Structure 1
Amino acid sequence: MTHGIAALPMYNVTPQHGMLWRAFLRDALGEFARRAGVRERIALLDEPLGDLFALWRSPDLLMSQTCGFPYRLLGLDRQVHLLATPVFNAPGCEGAWYRSVLLVSAQAYANGATSLAACRGLRAACNSADSHSGMNAFRHAVATTIPKSVRSERFFASVSFVGSHWNALRALAADEADVASIDCVTLAYVRDARPEMLESLREIGMTAAAPGLPFIASRTLPVAHAALLRDALDHACTLDTLRAKTLRLQGFSRLAPADYAVIEQFADEARANGYAELV
């Protein structure tokens, strides 16, 4: 029985990006169906709502993209095939690895928040507690770059979980937060499509690098079909050069599941440095 659910929910930063990713997904799945001789209908979920974990864990999942944090730290790696990791042309990316950019509001910057250490006592915004780029990498940066004697038990005055990187940027621009950690690919998309969103923000550094957001399929999918999906991803990259350029997508890398241990290492190092929670 062929699996039939597919969605790419992670980098739909603007409506244009969402449209392009859906077109990319259609092309990739069309090529997969051709190669695999699949005739069953594949349901493309344009805007997956509700519990993304239910989508990623579905035995009917044919293709999606997840964050490295749930993949490595929440057990998703035991339930899915790791298909491939995208390679982006964006500041902060190194092959299939990426970083988060530390941003502060113009007001915070003017008041001296020109480094992460100087953000002590400020208001942090975070997309979600299960995000590597917005939380885990941010937590790791605080834990490993700021001495514990300076950091104290609580580093920030408050941490608000705002639901998305876009909302975190809006909070900084509206002076509702002072500092945030933003996925560098998301930031590049915003800079391309909505540069005015960043006019009042300032970059003060980057986090350490980690493997990018992996494309996945249900572990119940035959291994041979997973291999065909990988080839279909490569094929879809070549079909529309303007689309690939707009998405800053250069191709896909075949990382191993063990490569994502770095994300768990970030969490372990933060815990070892007495900073188990982003606070």
Structure 2
Amino acid sequence: MTWIAALPMYNITPALALEWRGWLSDVLHKVKPACRIVEPDEELHGFWRRPNLLISQTCGFPLMHGLHEQVQLIATPRFDAPGCDGAHYSSVLVTRANAEFDSLASCRGARAAYNQDDSNSGMNVFRHAVAPHSRAGMFFSAVLRTCSHLGSLQAVADNRADVAAIDCVTFAFVCDELPDLARQVRAIGVTAASPGLPLIASGSVPRATIEALRDALNETLTIRPERAKRLRLQGFSVLPLTDYERIGQLENEARAAGYTRLA
């Protein structure tokens, strides 16, 4: 079997994507499987379920909504980014730099943007943050799905939306790589924290290979420390799947408050 690998989650610019690809190549070189780095040519939910997937990165929300039955957790990155605490992360609540809003509570009746329905950082924790302020399941005047965190940031900057929740790691990379966009928005809060985006492998990957991958992840950070710094990688933690139950807890708390969807 020829294995495949891809890191699709934090490629916010082509230059950053090349850094991720180079780091992944070094990881695979240490493990030495027959593996190709690919660009997913299908919807990610299908890609993550490929039986020959050696390593990729997913969001915790789909992980806990069925994906965990078909994959293994390899490790969770620890990022050097505001809003991260070890292997846990939160989302930054942003509005336009010149907007009148100074807190999430002040955004009642405003327009929200979010990336995807199955995103923990862009939808689930956002819903959880809004839930205490909602009335009869409503809070915003309009909600826009943008398909990406960059799309949500651009929607806020372009005055097509007023507030969004952005994965704090993505936001840190935007500040690094796209400072002009970062200057067009400002933070007005943060969401609750949950475990970060895990690296996963197909359930068919041998246990010894999973262990070799874990060793290689940390070893490659010392090969080129300047690359690790640009990727904001501090190391990796091996979290049990039960830690990711926090994501479902946030979902359930919002639902218990009568706020089942962003609205």
Q: Distance in 1 between matches of 2:62 and 2:248?
A: 10
Which residue is equivalent to 2:20?
Answer: 21
Matched, 1:211 2:195: yes
Which residue is equivalent to 2:9?
Answer: 10
Which residue is equivalent to 2:260?
Answer: 276
Q: Which amino acid aligns with 2:25?
A: R
Report the CA distance shift for 1:176/1:49 in structure 2 as closer, same or farther (over 3 A).
Answer: farther
Which residue is equivalent to 2:102?
Answer: 114
Which residue is equivalent to 2:54?
Answer: 62
Residues 13-71 of structure 1, C-alpha deviation per residue, up to 9 Å, x if partnerless? Answer: 111210111011111111111xxxx4x3x1211x3233101110011100000000001
Taking only the aligned residue pairs, the percentage that are identical comes to 52
Q: Distance in 1 between matches of 2:24 and 2:184?
A: 34
Residues 234-278 of structure 1, C-alpha deviation per residue, up to 9 Å, x if partnerless? Answer: 112221111100011001011111100000101111111101111
Which residue is equivalent to 2:40?
Answer: 48
Q: Distance in 2 between matches of 1:7 and 1:52?
A: 11
Q: Distance in 2 between matches of 1:50 and 1:191?
A: 29
Report the CA distance shift for 1:265/1:102 in structure 2 as closer, same or farther (over 3 A).
Answer: same
Which residue is equivalent to 1:152?
Answer: 136
Residues 117-162 of structure 1, C-alpha deviation per residue, up to 9 Å, x if partnerless? Answer: 1111111110111100000000001114x2x5xx332211111111
Question: TM-score of the superposition, structure 2-length normalised?
Answer: 0.97
Q: Answer whether contact 1:3 1:61 (CA < 8 A) is retained.
A: no
Q: Answer whether contact 1:126 1:161 (CA < 8 A) is retained.
A: yes
Which residue is equivalent to 1:141?
Answer: 129
Picking from 100, 106, 110, the partner of 2:91 is 100
Picking from 237, 240, 255, the partner of 1:253 is 237
Residues 150-199 of structure 1, C-alpha deviation per residue, up to 9 Å, x if partnerless? Answer: x3322111111111101111111111110000000000001011111022
Q: Distance in 2 between matches of 1:115 and 1:152?
A: 21
Q: Distance in 2 between matches of 1:104 and 1:3?
A: 45
Q: Answer whether contact 1:3 1:59 (CA < 8 A) is retained.
A: no
Which residue is equivalent to 1:89?
Answer: 80
Q: Distance in 2 between matches of 1:50 and 1:159?
A: 27
- Residue 101 of structure 1 aligns to a residue in which SS? strand
- Residue 204 of structure 1 aligns to a residue in which SS? strand
Which residue is equivalent to 1:71?
Answer: 63
- Residue 252 of structure 1 aligns to a residue in which SS? strand
Question: TM-score of the superposition, structure 1-length normalised?
Answer: 0.91
Q: Which amino acid aligns with 1:119?
A: C
Q: Answer whether contact 1:122 1:178 (CA < 8 A) is retained.
A: yes
Q: Distance in 2 between matches of 1:153 and 1:8?
A: 36
Which residue is equivalent to 1:238?
Answer: 222
Residues 201-259 of structure 1, C-alpha deviation per residue, up to 9 Å, x if partnerless? Answer: 12110001100000000011111111111111111222111110001100101111110
Q: Distance in 2 between matches of 1:161 and 1:239?
A: 40
Report the CA distance shift for 1:212/1:3 in structure 2 as closer, same or farther (over 3 A).
Answer: farther
Q: Distance in 1 between matches of 2:115 and 2:172?
A: 17
Q: Answer whether contact 1:3 1:62 (CA < 8 A) is retained.
A: no
CA RMSD of aligned residues (A): 1.2
Q: Distance in 1 between matches of 2:53 and 2:43?
A: 14
Q: Distance in 2 between matches of 1:8 and 1:137?
A: 23
Q: Distance in 1 between matches of 2:3 and 2:184?
A: 44
